[in-house]
C-alpha cells in the first residue's frame, strides 16, 4: 500500500515534483544485486535507497519494529528524505560530500543453500530468503551470533526514544536511557556514533551495527540550531526484541512465553539472585498439539539441561533461543507448586516461507 502511494504520487504534488528529479527503479528480484552494497535487514517489507550514478548511497528510507511492518513508513517523512537526497546530491556534485568506501561485493549466488532453493529451481530470489539462508550458512560454519544476526534492528523505544514519525528524526518523547542522556522532545537526531543520519532507516541501520556487548553510545542532535552530543548508557539487553515474526530457520521455537522472576521472588523460592528463573506466562497451542512439552502457565523454569545461569539470558526462554540450536531436545527443571520436576522439551526448526 505504502509503495503504491509513493509511486503514484500526483505529479503536481510536492512529493511528485520531488520524485520527478529522480530516476526511480523498483527491484523485485535480487538475483544479480550486490547485496554487499545494498545491505539492510532483509525482513523489512519495503526499503528504499537514494544513491547517485556511481552507486554511492546517500541515505536509506525504511525500517520497522516488531509490532508492525510500517511503523516508520510515512508520506511526510519520505518527502523529507527525498529533499535530503537532492541536497546531498548537490553537495556531491560540488565536491563537498566525502565518498564512502564501497563494501566488498556479495551476491545471492555466493550462498549454495540459497542457490539450491532458488536459482536451481527457477524461483525468485527474495530479500527475506537471502537473510534466512545467510544465517543458515553462518550456523553451518560456526559464525552465527544470534544476538547480532537473529536480533536485528534493535528497537529505539527500548532506550526511550519515541520519534515523531512524520517529522523524520525529530524526537517526540523521551524516557529511560534517552532521558538520562539528556535528550529532549523536539531534538532532531543528526548523527549516530559520528556518522550523519538523515532518516529513521539510516539511524536504525547504524544502530544495528553497534556491537551487542556495547554499554554506551553517542548521538548528536540539533537543538534549536545548536549541535549537542549525547552519551547514552545502554541498558542490559538493549538489543532484545520479539523475533517470532521473523520466522527464522535458526531460531529454536520452544512455544511458550515467560517473564523473569524478580529478585524478591527468587529469594522467596531460595533461588540464586543471578539465575534466569522465569515464570511461564503463556503456552502456545502448537506445543499442546505437538506434545513438545507439558509446561503450564505459572510453572517456574529454573534450569535448562542443568544450567540455571547465563551471562546474557534472563529467562529460560531466552537461554534456549541463544544457546540451543533449532530442533534440539532439552530437559527443563521446573517448579510446580511444591514439586520440582524434570521435563523434556523439544524445540522446532521453522519451515521458513520459501
177-216 CB burial, b ≥16 within 10 A, e <16 = bbebbebeeebbbbbbeeeebbbbbbbbbbbbebebeeee
Q: Which CATH class is domain 156-233?
A: mainly beta
Task: Fold for 252-349, please state it.
Answer: Pdz3 Domain (2.30.42)
Q: What letter does residue 134 receive in the DSSP assignment?
A: H
Domain range summary for the chain, segments of one domain joined by +: 156-233, 252-349
Residues 168 and 201 sit within 8 Å (Cβ to Cβ): no
- Domains 156-233 and 252-349 belong to one CATH topology: yes
Nearest C-alpha neighbor of 150 from the set 61, 55, 242: 242
Nearest C-alpha neighbor of 79 from the set 203, 220, 225, 199: 199
Sign of the dihedral through C-alpha 168, 170, 176, 182: positive
Give the pLDDT of the chain (354 residues) as one tens digit per residue.
Answer: 888 898 889 999 999 999 999 999 999 889 999 999 999 999 998 999 999 999 999 999 999 999 999 999 999 999 999 999 999 999 999 999 999 999 999 999 999 999 999 999 989 898 999 999 999 999 999 999 999 999 999 999 999 999 999 999 999 999 999 999 999 999 999 999 999 999 999 999 999 999 999 999 999 999 999 999 999 999 999 999 999 999 899 999 999 999 999 999 999 999 999 999 999 999 999 999 999 999 999 999 999 999 999 999 999 999 999 999 999 999 999 999 999 999 999 999 987 554
Nearest C-alpha neighbor of 69 from the set 49, 44, 41, 47: 44
Sign of the dihedral through C-alpha 153, 157, 160, 166: positive
Residue 84 pairs in a beta bridge with none
What is the C-alpha to C-alpha distance for residues 62 and 16, in angstroms, rounded to an integer? 19
Amino acid at each position: 500500500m505504502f509503495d503504491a502511494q509513493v509511486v503514484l504520487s500526483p505529479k503536481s504534488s510536492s512529493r511528485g515534483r520531488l520524485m520527478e528529479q529522480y530516476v526511480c527503479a523498483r527491484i523485485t528480484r535480487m538475483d544479480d544485486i550486490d547485496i554487499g552494497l545494498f545491505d539492510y535487514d532483509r525482513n523489512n517489507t519495503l526499503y528504499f535507497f537514494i544513491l547517485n550514478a556511481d552507486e554511492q548511497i546517500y541515505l536509506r528510507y525504511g525500517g520497522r519494529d516488531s509490532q508492525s511492518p510500517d511503523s516508520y513508513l510515512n508520506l511526510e517523512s519520505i518527502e523529507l528524505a527525498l529533499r535530503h537526497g537532492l541536497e546531498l546530491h548537490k553537495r556531491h556534485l560540488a565536491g563537498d560530500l566525502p565518498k564512502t568506501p564501497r563494501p566488498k561485493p556479495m551476491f545471492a549466488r555466493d550462498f549454495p543453500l540459497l542457490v539450491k532453493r532458488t536459482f536451481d529451481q527457477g524461483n525468485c530470489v527474495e530479500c527475506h530468503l537471502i537473510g534466512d539462508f545467510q544465517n543458515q550458512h553462518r550456523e553451518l560454519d560456526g559464525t552465527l551470533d544470534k544476538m547480532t544476526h537473529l536480533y536485528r534492528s534493535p528497537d529505539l523505544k527500548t532506550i526511550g526514544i519515541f520519534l515523531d514519525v512524520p517529522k523524520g528524526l525529530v524526537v517526540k518523547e523521551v524516557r529511560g536511557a534517552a532521558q538520562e542522556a539528556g535528550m529532549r522532545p523536539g531534538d532532531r537526531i543528526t548523527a549516530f556514533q559520528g556518522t550523519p543520519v538523515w532518516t529513521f532507516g539510516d539511524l536504525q541501520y547504524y544502530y544495528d551495527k553497534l556491537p551487542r556487548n556495547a554499554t554506551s553510545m553517542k548521538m548528536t542532535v540539533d537543538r534549536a540550531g545548536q549541535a549537542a552530543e549525547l552519551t547514552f548508557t545502554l541498558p542490559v539487553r538493549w538489543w532484545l526484541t520479539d523475533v517470532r515474526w521473523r520466522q527464522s530457520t535458526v531460531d529454536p521455537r520452544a512455544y511458550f512465553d515467560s517473564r523473569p522472576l524478580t529478585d524478591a521472588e527468587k529469594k522467596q523460592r531460595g533461588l540464586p539472585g543471578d539465575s534466569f528463573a522465569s515464570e511461564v506466562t503463556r503456552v502456545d497451542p502448537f506445543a499442546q498439539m505437538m506434545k513438545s512439552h507439558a509446561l503450564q502457565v505459572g510453572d517456574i523454569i529454573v534450569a535448562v539441561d542443568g544450567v540455571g545461569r547465563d551471562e546474557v539470558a534472563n529467562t529460560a526462554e531466552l537461554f534456549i533461543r541463544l544457546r540451543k540450536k533449532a530442533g534440539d531436545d532439552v530437559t527443563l527443571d521446573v517448579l510446580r507448586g511444591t514439586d520440582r520436576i524434570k521435563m523434556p522439551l523439544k524445540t522446532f526448526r521453522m519451515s521458513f516461507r520459501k
